[in-house]
Amino acid sequence: MTAPDPGLTDLIAAALVRSSPNSIDTFDLLPYHRQEAWRVRAREVALVVEQHTNGRIAELEAERDALYNIVHRVSLAIEGARERRAALEGERQ
């Protein structure tokens, strides 16, 4: 399993600080140990977000592949029908 994206982690940490009841507006003004505590929490949240996103992407890719297979089969059926039609028209002439 990969580590969460650091940019996403920082964004979540800043958002968590802003949403806390005793928040201050600037994450950078927090003491280092408090910033690190928020970053740890943010990494946990980021990991959940990324796992959800990756899972959803995998679902969408599976749906895309299934639709591609359907379109491919329909295309082959249309192509076969055109060939049969051309063959029938050739027999008539």
Convert the pLDDT of each residue in 7-39 to its tens digit.
Answer: 776 777 777 766 554 555 566 676 777 777 777
Does 88 map to a domain? Answer: yes
Contact, 8 vs 48, CB < 8 A? no
Does 1 map to a domain? Answer: no
Does 14 map to a domain? Answer: yes
pTM over cut 0.85: no
* Residues 51-88 pLDDT 10s: 777 777 888 888 899 999 999 999 999 999 999 999 99
For residue 62, what are the domain limits?
Answer: 6-92
Does 36 map to a domain? Answer: yes
Query: What pLDDT, on the 0 to 100 scale, is given for residue 26?
Result: 62
Query: What pLDDT, on the 0 to 100 scale, is given for residue 25?
Result: 56
Contact, 50 vs 11, CB < 8 A? no
Number of domains in the chain: 1
Does 28 map to a domain? Answer: yes
Cβ-in-10-Å burial (0-12, 13-18, 19+) of 89 comes to: exposed
Share the mean pLDDT of the chain.
78
Does 64 map to a domain? Answer: yes
